[in-house]
Amino acid sequence: MVNDIIKDNIKLGSRLHTIASFVPLGSKLADIGTDHAYLLVYLIQTGTIKSAIGVDIHKGPYESALETVKMYGVAQRVDVRQGNGLIPLRSGEIDTLVIAGMGGTTILEILQSNPQVLAEASKAILQPQGAEARVRKELTVQGWRIKDECLIEEDNRVYSVIIFTRSEGLDYEEIENRIRNIGDHFRKYILQQKLKIDTDLMNEKLDHFIKKYVWILGPINLENKDAHLQSIIRENMINLDNIVQGMAKTSREETKEKAKLVEQERKLLEVMQRWLFQ
Ligand SMILES: C[S@@+](CC[C@H](N)C(=O)[O-])C[C@H]1O[C@@H](n2cnc3c(N)ncnc32)[C@H](O)[C@@H]1O
């Protein structure tokens, strides 16, 4: 039986739609972990990209991608391959990468899987789910720059989208400078508000706190005061509350000391939330 080809543009949810909006016109794109290949079909239908390669490691998603490109009549223009990370790609085939909907650690492993192809990519649009700080830090240490970032809500969950390029945006040094700058402003705010914060917490611990959370929350998200930062900060506070609760069950002095540090971090997060959004 021959199924009719769907002529309408495929509809993307807000997360994939945001990712699509960062794909440069005319790019040669690979979507790693493409699953259903919705993103690639949309980008071909809208004339955004020249060529598209979708890679997925698992048979089910690979077959589902083949099915989608057939259904939308774009099988000649979207090359679907089964394999691990960047390994199925050859030199000269792509200039832009999308890796979305996976843990940050998996994304970093995928990026390491084919150094030659990675070296030819000038843009990487990443949407890690967890380990966002590691992704930002490791890529900027490797010479990538953060060109843009945003937070997007879909189905009551907030996702980070981070755009890395080779030549535009914040490099590692510039992010470290921002960290110092944000630290100075945050310290001033605490003093102005006459908040009761321990002296040791105001000194080196505050620097450590700011460093940790700029990498977690994102330097551009912080600059933009992205409203969804509030949910991410809240999520981090809940995690810290759970850690403190777990630690409260023990009578060991060492653990009690650690719990105090976690409580201090929790307090600073609350102050940061107020500083950013009050
Ligand atoms: C949750 S889905 C995300 C699909 C799509 N990228 C999105 O954001 O909607 C993750 C997909 O990545 C694939 N995947 C996981 N590890 C991979 C790897 N090392 N190489 C290629 N694909 C991988 C999985 O099989 C799965 O289809």
CA of 81 to the centre of ligand 1 (A): 12
Does residue 33 line the site of ligand 1, with CB under 6 A?
yes
Residues 6+ apart with CB under 8 A from 217: 229, 232, 233
Does residue 32 line the site of ligand 1, with CB under 6 A?
yes
Does residue 57 line the site of ligand 1, with CB under 6 A?
yes
- Burial (CB < 10 A; 0-12, 13-18, 19+), residue 135, is buried
Distances (CA, A) of 239 to 136, 154, 233, 243: 21, 21, 10, 6
Q: What is the pLDDT of residue 254?
A: 86
Q: What is the pLDDT of residue 243?
A: 94
Atom of ligand 1 nearest to the CA of 127: 8
Tens-digit pLDDT profile for the chain (278 aa)? 457 899 899 999 999 999 999 999 999 999 999 999 999 999 999 999 988 999 999 999 999 999 999 999 999 999 999 999 999 999 999 999 999 999 999 999 999 999 999 999 999 999 999 999 999 999 999 999 999 999 999 999 999 999 999 999 999 999 999 999 999 999 999 989 887 777 767 777 899 999 999 999 999 999 999 999 999 999 999 999 999 999 988 888 888 889 988 999 999 999 999 999 98
Q: What is the pLDDT of residue 218?
A: 98
Residue 117 near residue 88 (C-beta atoms within 8 A): no
Does residue 101 line the site of ligand 1, with CB under 6 A?
yes
What domains sit in the chain, N to C, each tagged with a CATH number? 14-165 (3.40.50.150), 173-277 (no CATH)
Task: Report the interhelical angle of 172-192 vs 253-277 (nearest 10°).
Answer: 90
Q: What is the pLDDT of residue 251?
A: 80
CA of 72 to the centre of ligand 1 (A): 21
Does residue 87 line the site of ligand 1, with CB under 6 A?
no
CA of 53 to the centre of ligand 1 (A): 14
Candidate of 22, 58, 66, 118 to mutate for ligand 1, largest count of ligand atoms within 8 Å of Cβ: 58
